[in-house]
Amino acid sequence: MSNKRILVTGGAGFLGSHLCERLLSDGHDVVCVDNFFTGRKENVRHLIANPNFELIRHDITNPLFIEVDQIYNLACPASPVHYQYNAIKTIKTSVIGAINMLGLAKRVNATILQASTSEVYGDPEVHPQSEQYRGNVNPIGPRACYDEGKRCAETLFFDYHRQHNVDIKVIRIFNTYGPRMNPEDGRVVSNFIVQALSGQPITIYGNGQQTRSFCYVDDLIEGIIRTMNSSKGFTGPVNLGNPGEFTMLELAQKIIQLTDSKSKITYEPLPIDDPLQRKPIITLAEKELAWSPTIQLEEGLKRTISYYTEVLSRS
């Protein structure tokens, strides 16, 4: 694979920073764009000295004029705490941001990848979820700014592909975790680990029997890059996630065990429209990308706990 100039929007975020790091290690020139609403400079501070890395503060709801070969469009708050904080801004980022990045890809003839989400399936009535499932989303609920924003972005990607022959790739990301997740972002893995390490009660919403599938960040980044560099005829959408399925209670108990924590589990009401089940069918990724996750939950949790232990020791 020859050296490319690659744009990563949302590049200072949790996933974006890991993607930038990997692309640089693969020998590419990387332009990281972020408005730092949820992205953090410390996520990419170690990359600044790399001569092949460029950091631009920019909001993709405004057009960007730049010459690149590939675009990874990751820009958008991804945790409920952050995307509900400014719901209108969230949907603008998904929709107007997609239009701006697709326009850029069209102008410079770049391949563009959209980081979509398992949230396009909503609170699924089909389990597990394949790419053929069209979802069960409440279009007027508090999560709709994210769910429907991402669904509309997928529509835009396929319309630009059909109408303008833009080379697109669409991935649907299931729950992913690992180092650099913001400890304040309200996501379940970071919440549980921070609470366990701090000796606080571990908060489970609902009865703890709702399920999620957890993919370690390194596995996901490999899947993202394989999708971008897949054959020209393959557009996706393709599910990327770990098909291992765990209840919230199982996750909490596992983290208590791995941290040797004395934290007790407490229960709170389930938020509106919170999905009860989430598990990807990854047959398409296995077939088209020769990709499947390799890092098991316990190993990934150990690495993530080690990261948060260090972060909390500095605070």
pLDDT of the residue at 81: 80
Q: Which residues are catalytic?
A: 146
Percent of residues, the chain, with pLDDT higher than 70: 100
Domain coordinates in residue numbering, the chain: 5-177+215-241+279-293
User: CA-to-CA distance for 245 and 163, rounded, in angstroms?
Assistant: 39
pLDDT of the residue at 85: 86
State the pLDDT confidence band at 1, using cuts at 50, 70 and 90.
low
pLDDT, one tens digit per residue, over 290-312 is: 999 999 999 999 999 999 999 98
Q: What is the mean pLDDT of the chain?
A: 95
Region 83-98: mean pLDDT is 93
Backbone angles phi, psi at 170, to 5 degrees: -125, 125
pLDDT of the residue at 270: 83
Please check the confidence at residue 137 and state whether its pLDDT lies above 80: yes
User: Six-digit token pair at 106?
Assistant: 């069209």
Please name the CATH architecture into which domain 5-177+215-241+279-293 falls: 3-Layer(aba) Sandwich (3.40)
Instruction: Confirm if 182 and 14 have CB atoms less than 8 A apart.
Output: yes
Where are the alpha helices (H) located in 123-261, listed in sequence order? 144-164, 188-198, 217-228, 248-259
